Structure 1
Amino acid sequence: MNKKQFEVMKNEDGFIAALDQSGGSTPGALEGYGIPESEYENRDEMFELIHQMRTRVITSPVFSSGYIIGAILFKHTMRNKMEGKYTADYLWEDKGIVPILKVDEGKEEIKNGVQLMKKMTELDDLLKEAEKHNVFATKMRSVIHEANQAGIKEIVAQQFEYGKKIAAAGFVPILEPEINIHSEDKAECEKIMKEEIIKNLAELDDDEIIMFKLTLPEEADFYQELIEDPNVLRVAALSGGYSRDEATTKLANNNKMIASFSRALLQDLHVEQTDEQFNIAMKDAVMEIYQASIT
């Protein structure tokens, strides 16, 4: 584990940029950027276009370590280059931003009110590849839709099971049991999930360090117990479908919780913007999210 990256992630002010749209979410991200599905014919062309978009974002002078401490990448982005360097190396060496890799392989269908992660058949190979690319942390997502005790217990247990394996391989795992912001019993979901997380945290060894990426809670500072736990390096918030204004307002009410936004970061960017227009829109987003993350 890179000690300097660990210190950055633990102590520096800023937020984590989520740039890890995968096969299922990439068409929507490109559509938002002004590139409809009619402009590409297959997955290879789609991934090339999203890489061009991500390259424009990451190489922008606004995308800097003064405000952004980490960036989550999809494996395709990790395997490709920016400015002549592999993306993770470019992020760290040129930007001072910690590289993080999305490792889950998608979600199962809803059962017991939740969507577990699909079995990670390529995890061992992906972690070996991530080590070669100097990746610091990983991220994996599952989703809670209902306040079902059994389902939430299972989803948290699965996140910790994979998290322990990832930590043993030398990475800091980011556990992301997202709660659907449209859940009719969102607050109750949060209560059950936090109880299960605290139980699992108590079973970690001292050297098993993890992070969380969680839906912004209904109650301010609801996750302070997790933030203060010695096994938890950082707790980040996902925007989860909230607009940037909604997400940053909610985030500002949660002390020491930082952003890890995707749509809320990218929502005002467009392929037809000039570089000047693009950078102005980026700066507005970065500054708003940064301020909410340090409040």
Structure 2
Amino acid sequence: MTTANAEMLDQIKSGQGFIAALDQSGGSTPKALKGYGIGEDAFSNDEEMFALIHDMRSRIVTAPCFNGEKVIGAILFERTMDGQAGGKPVPSLLWERGVVPFLKVDKGLEDEADGVQLMKANPGLDDLCGRAVAKGVFGTKMRSVVNLAHPVGIKAIVDQQFAEAARIATHGLVPIIEPEVNIKSAERDAADRLLLKELLAALDGWTGAPVMLKLSLPAEAGLFQPLVDHPRVLRVVALSGGFTRGEACAELAKNPGIIASFSRALLEDLRHQMSDDEFNASLGTAIDEIHAASVA
């Protein structure tokens, strides 16, 4: 392990903060831009759209409050990893500030089957992991979705996530495994419990270095404590999953040992039209609130 990787590992393992999710990709980018105050009439193709979202992310990661004191990591979209902010490659800029860079590596979701959406096939994963390592990235993130408490579907999701995690780990990267339970599901609590059972079984059979888990906040507070305490789990982080920041922070604070990895809840008050002072103040407030809930 390199010195940088050992320092990053320590920051993720013991840092008192949260992980920012800045990884909106093709399908979710127009919604993220709309929330930021930029309508679809502002771009006419994907290149223009991605340039606008990159400007937004650059503004976030170069803000004075975006540093390792409260933000211990950030998950990047592939184009963000390849881009620059403040005149430097984004992963390098982040780590100079004490923020550990991660990369979203999945290629989106399959159609629902057995109550879940598996990840699409990802033949380019090894090449992408190699590029990420070369750019100083510490870990990866990949997302699938659980909509119903279907035992076969949930087992399939966990099996797929851990199979991909094994590929990722061969590159020396730390995988974040994200089987998101839809918080609007009528079967949310039952799905949480099935997911917990399958994750514990997969972790007990895992022989590599510790992994990370990114989960929806459970319907029953404290349900995921066995995952927080598991020796093969480096850190459990939570997505906001459609909750407002206030709701997500309140739910997070009920689950000791889990820290935030919010996207919408982090960005919800930021607007393109803000002055730099307004933008930095608004981002600082969001960071303070999410940090407080993460260390509660």
Q: Is the 8 A contact 1:167 1:209 kept in 2?
A: no
**Which residue matches 1:267?**
268
**Structure 2 residue runs without a partner (length 5+):** none
- The number of equivalent residue pairs is 293
Give the equivalent residue in structure 1 for 2:173: 171
Match of 2:34 in 1: 31
Q: Please state if 1:68 is matched with 2:71.
A: yes
* Separation in structure 2 between the aligned mates of residue 122 and residue 209 of structure 1, nearest angstrom: 24
The answer to whether 1:161 aligns with 2:163 is: yes
For the pair 1:110 / 2:112, whether they are aligned, the reply is yes
Alignment partners' CA distance in 1, 2:135 and 2:61: 17
* TM-score of the aligned structures, taking structure 1 as reference length: 0.98
Residues 133-174 of structure 1: CA distance to partner in whole angstroms, max 9, x if unpaired? 010000000000000110001001100110111112101000
Give the Cα separation in 2 of the matches to 1:165 and 1:122.
11
What SS does the corresponding residue of 2:102 show, helix, strand or coil?
Answer: strand
- Name the amino acid aligned to 1:128: G
Gaps of 5+ in 1: none
Q: Which string of whole-angstrom CA distances, capped at 9 and with x for unpartnered residues, describes residues 97-146 of structure 1?
A: 00000000000000000000001121011001001101000000000000
d(CA) in 2 for partners of 1:128 and 1:167? Answer: 11
* Aligned mates of 2:270, 2:209 — CA distance in 1: 38
CA contact under 8 A between 2:30 and 2:49: conserved in structure 1?
Answer: yes
Alignment of 1:1-295 (within 5 A): 1=1, 2-93=5-96, 95-205=97-207, 207-295=208-296
Q: Distance in 1 between matches of 2:49 and 2:127?
A: 24
Instruction: Give distance in 1, aligned partners of 2:124 and 2:265.
Output: 30
Residue type at the aligned position of 1:285: A
Residue 288 of structure 1 aligns with an amino acid whose one-letter code is E
Give me the identity figure in percent. Answer: 49
SS at 2:220's partner residue?
coil
The answer to whether the Cα contact below 8 Å between 2:249 and 2:290 also exists between their aligned partners in 1 is yes
CA distance in 1, matches of 2:285, 2:63: 13
Whether the aligned pair in 2 keeps the contact of 1:77 and 1:87 (CA below 8 Å) is yes
Q: CA deviation at 1:208?
A: 2.5
Tell me if the contact between 2:133 and 2:171 (Cα under 8 Å) persists in the aligned partners: no
Query: Which deviates more from structure 2 when the two are superposed, residues 65-74 or residues 221-230?
Result: 221-230
Deviations 1:161-215 (A, max 9, x none): 101111121010000000001000100000000000011001111x421000000
| Contact in 2 for aligned 1:89/1:134 (Cα 8 Å) | yes
SS of 2:261's partner is strand
| Matched position secondary structure for 2:110 | coil
The normalised TM-score by structure 2 is 0.98
